[in-house]
Amino acid sequence: MSIISNLWEKFAKSKKYREEFVAAQAKRGIPFQARALLKARRGWTQQTLAEKSGLTQGVVSRALNPNYGNLTLNTIVRIAAGFDVAFIGMFVPFSELERWFQNMSEESVQVATFEEENARRQSQTFAEGAGLAFSRIWKSVTRELSRRQVATEGLQSEIGAMRGIRAAKAACESEYEPEFASLDGLHQASAGSGRGAAALAATQ
């Protein structure tokens, strides 16, 4: 097996290599991540992590050493508690191991603490809640606007109809104005004489 063969070729070539690679990952992967997490926490020392984990500095030092190789599950869980992150050990297919390994870097193994995640989730919940409230308000506003628009259109059509009536009335009045004027004259003339009354009767 050549040094330059890619990892999958090595996996495919030898079951023994696969087994040993899994063992190397178990031995070195956790110390690598723990060192990267510790580096990312400015001002933290092994002693800080030891205090937060409830371990001694010596145990933490060994846990960070990739060559130590005797890390217990209890120590791993205590260190997870010290960083306030979760730990899941699980069986995975080799393709997942390959993907994880090829992306392995101090940056890719960083994880948020519970506090960071919780703050993010709360602000997300607030944003979602605010969005929902806004959406509800917007719906009621648009509903009200639409109702008012309908009412306005009704009012406008009523006003239009009234204007039509008024215009018809004005046209009617102007058309029959001479007749009305003559009738008025006859009324006035007939007010004091029988002849007038007879004339009025004759016109009707």
Q: Which residues contribute to the site for another protein (CB under 8 A)?
A: 1-4, 6-7, 10, 14, 16-17, 19-21, 23-25, 27-29, 32, 35, 39, 64-67, 69, 101-102, 104-108
- Tell me the closest approach of the beta carbon of residue 58 to another protein, in angstroms: 15
Torsion of CA 7, 8, 11, 12, to 10 degrees: -140
Rounded to an integer, what is the distance from CA 162 to the centroid of its chain? 51
- Tell me the closest approach of the beta carbon of residue 138 to another protein, in angstroms: 48
- Tell me the closest approach of the beta carbon of residue 9 to another protein, in angstroms: 11
Of residues 2 and 174, the one with the C-beta less far from another protein:
2
The span from the CA of 30 to the CA of 204, in Å, is 118
Residue 35 buriedness (CB in 10 A; 0-12 / 13-18 / 19+): middle
Token pair listed for 166:
């008024």
- Tell me the closest approach of the beta carbon of residue 60 to another protein, in angstroms: 13
Of residues 3 and 73, the one with the C-beta less far from another protein:
3
